[in-house]
Amino acid sequence: MTVAEQIAGILSGAGIRFVFGVPGGPSIPYMEAFRKAGIEFILTSHESAAGTMASVTGRLTGIPGVCHSTFGPGAVNLASGAGGALLDRSPVIILTSEIDDNMIGRTTQMNIDHQKLFQPLTKATFRANPGNVVDILLKALDICRKEYPGPVHIGLPSDIACLEAAEPGGYIDESEKKDHLNDTVRISALLENCRKPLIAVGLTSARYALGKRLLEFLRHTKIPVVLTPMAKGLLPEDHPCYAGVLFHALSNYIGDVLEDIDLVIGLGYDPVEYNYESWIPDVPLIDFTTTETDLPSVNHVTGFTGSPGEWFTILEQLHPGQLIFNQIKIESARNETISVFNGLTDHFGPVTALMVLREALPVDAILTFDVGSHLHLAGQYWNTYGRQNMIITNGWSGMGFGLPAALAAGISSSGSVIVCVTGDGGFLMTAGEIITARRYNLQVITVVLSDGDLNLIKLKQSWQDLPQYATNLYEEDLFCAEMFLGVRILYADSEESMKSAINLALSMKKPVIINARIDPDDYKWLVVKK
């Protein structure tokens, strides 16, 4: 078998059904091999979108996402997707064409060192040849799925696709298995002596989908819970223990819940989202995680590295009878937050737009949110009903995430209602992917909250008493048209027109854009200074 055939066969055997990317000339043999192996090559408008789509596919399915680009500029464009997969913890295989061995070290068009490019953005980077390509790919598939999951890059020299690949040498995982020195005696003592603990649930718990396990645990213990943004959905927002989402809109109200706790229990808490020391009070911390990570030097920190099953076994040492549950403080924090949100629905701002959207969509709809002021709002305001149906980036936090993420969700979760909520700044970064939605008839509703500015930067300028500068995106209207790249645009500038636009969009069997022209004034009351 050729190199291209071996790669396609191994990827197909691993359950991979899509490769996202923009091809170059050397890509053609691989594309043909993918086609024959039943793997669809999804053509995107830009390689950064391909990287995001691979990352979100890996996140949603648990099967590594795969993306591909050509030399130099294609690889550089793909690098942002690599960073997203690395810091959002998604298993991804990145394939790039590379210059052949004869031109290594020479000055030639589009030639850069891809291994140096991807080294800080991936868990590992390799350069393949016909003799090692099979073993490298098997190794990459293993590495990308290990804790923390992340991307692995493989460079494919331009002249090897049609050469005969060596038979696999029998890849053996040679990574050392560490014996973690967990201080279970100290952990037991902390659990035995606490009376008012708080649980902080994070990204790792979300990846392991620990919602049901968490609900069962809370049924007996009744401990207040705060979540990081990417863990939202593990606990219903109306659950008695739900105290809110850290760092997102109005999270300062959570401070009342934190006032009298005596222990923080980090449950799959990943500091890539929000470092402990940014919010934790001066109490001991037990950090339950799957792999060793950097922990704060402040507070009395005790880490436990193991499987989620081990976490909950240890937590069974908590005796419900010894715990004091202050539901009044939790309800007070939630009610104050809701009161502020309700007070902002008398005009057409982002709260009203999301309120209408929340009321109109089925509870199992999948929402992707781009980065920007609206994400701070959505992280606290959106109701997940205890479903992990809200897809965001908070490790990488790159603008332009929302639309390609929604397209990936549309491919991975066909039959679901898929909605992308983005600001106009984030939309402009990946607007070309609207043609990708049209090309594959991905029935994604793209809601653009249009205010004409990079609002979050504008807001931060105001915090420093600086004038607005270099944040204005356009004058008048974003689209000034009824169609964009062949996709229908629906307009909304009031609660009623927003309801009409959403209902019409839900009835259409094709991609559609809702241009929601909002008053951004809400954000200055909602976004919390970090």
> Average pLDDT per run of 10 along the chain, which is 530 residues long?
97 98 97 98 98 98 97 96 98 96 82 95 97 96 97 97 89 73 94 97 98 96 97 97 96 93 97 93 96 80 96 95 93 95 97 98 97 96 96 97 98 92 97 98 97 94 95 94 98 98 96 98 89
Q: Identify the pLDDT of residue 180.
A: 79
Rounded distance, CA 42 to CA 44, Å? 6
Matching CATH topology for 3-157 and 184-331?
yes
Q: Identify the pLDDT of residue 179.
A: 76
**To 5 degrees, how large is the angle CA 428–CA 443–CA 407?**
50
Q: Identify the pLDDT of residue 104.
A: 82
CA–CA distances in Å: residue 267 to residues 151, 160, 189, 219, 413: 24, 46, 18, 16, 28
Structure tokens at 388: 């992990």
Q: Identify the pLDDT of residue 222.
A: 95
Structure tokens at 310: 């081990």
Q: Are 422 and 400 in contact (CB under 8 A)?
A: no
Rounded distance, CA 55 to CA 432, Å? 19
Question: Which residues partner with 485 through β-bridges?
Answer: none
Q: Are 432 and 500 in contact (CB under 8 A)?
A: no
Amino acid of residue 131: G
Q: Identify the pLDDT of residue 5.
A: 98
Q: What CATH number does the domain located at 343-526 have?
A: 3.40.50.970
Q: Are strands 124-127 and 197-201 parallel, antiparallel or unpaired?
A: unpaired
What is the number of other CB atoms lying within 10 angstroms of the CB of residue 320? 11
Task: Give the DSSP letter of residue 464.
Answer: T
Three-state SS string over 355-384 comes to: HHHHHHCCCCCEEEECCCHHHHHHHHHCCC
Q: Which residues of 214-224 are buried (b: 16+ CB within 10 A; e: fewer)?
A: beebbeebebb
Rounded distance, CA 36 to CA 2, Å? 13
Order the strands of the 285-289 sheet from edge to edge.
242-245, 225-227, 197-201, 263-267, 285-289, 301-305
Structure tokens at 361: 């969509």
Residue ranges of domains in the chain: 3-157, 184-331, 343-526
Q: Identify the pLDDT of residue 298.
A: 63
Q: Show Cβ contacts of residue 64 under 8 Å, excluding neighbours closer than 6 positions.
A: 14, 16, 58, 91, 92, 93, 141, 144, 145
CA–CA distances in Å: residue 100 to residues 8, 24, 65, 74, 328: 21, 14, 26, 16, 67
Q: Show Cβ contacts of residue 256 under 8 Å, excluding neighbours closer than 6 positions.
A: 329, 332, 333
Q: Which CATH architecture has domain 3-157?
A: 3-Layer(aba) Sandwich (3.40)
Q: Are 153 and 82 in contact (CB under 8 A)?
A: yes
Q: Are 97 and 160 in contact (CB under 8 A)?
A: no
CATH 3.20.20.70 fits 184-331, yes or no: no
Cα dihedral value 118, 125, 63, 145, nearest 10: -110
Question: Which residues partner with 19 through β-bridges?
Answer: 41
Amino acid of residue 189: A
Q: Identify the pLDDT of residue 299.
A: 62
Q: Are 368 and 392 in contact (CB under 8 A)?
A: yes
Rounded distance, CA 431 to CA 308, Å? 40
Task: Give the DSSP letter of residue 165.
Answer: P
